[in-house]
Chains A and B, each alone.
Chain A
Amino acid sequence: MKFKTMLTLFFVGTLLPALAQSESEVYMNFPITVKGYAGDKTDSASYSGQIARHLLHNSLKKLAGKGNGEPNEELKAKMMAYYAGTDEGREILDPKSKDGFAIKQTMIDEISKGKELKGKTYKGAVNSWPGYMTGPEVLEFLIDKASSANKGYDPITGYDYGQLISKFMMGAVFYNQAVDNYLDERLTADKNPNDKPYKEGRHYSGKEHVWDEAFGYFGAPAHAIDLEADQAYSIAKRKPDVMAAADHNSDGVVDLKTEMTYAHAYYAADADKGGKTSYLSDITGAFIDGRKLITAADSNALTDAQRAELMTIADTIKMKWEQVIAEATFKYAGSVYKDLQKLIAIVEANGDVSDAFRAYAKHWGELKGFSMALQTSGKDLGETAVKINRLIGFSPVHLDGNQVTGIDGNGNYMTASGSSMAEYMVHMVKLQNLLGDAFNLTKRKNDATSQLADLIESVGASKGAETD
Chain B
Amino acid sequence: MARLRIVLLIGLLASLALVPPIATWLDEPFYIVLFSRMLILAIGAIGLNLVMGYGGMVSFGHAAFVGIGAYMVGIGSFHSIEDGIDWMASGFFQLPAAIFVSAFFALIIGAISLRTKGVYFIMITLAFSQMLYFVAVGVEIYGADDGLSLYGRSEFAGLLDLNSDSAMYYVNFVTLGICLYAVHRIINSRFGLAIQGARSNERRMQAIGFPTFPYRLAGFVISGVICGIAGFLLANQTDFVSPDMMHWTRSGDLIIMVVLGGMGTLFGPLVGAVAFLLVEEILSSITISWQLYFGPLLILVVLFARGGIDGLLRPRQRADG
Q: Do A and B bind each other?
A: no
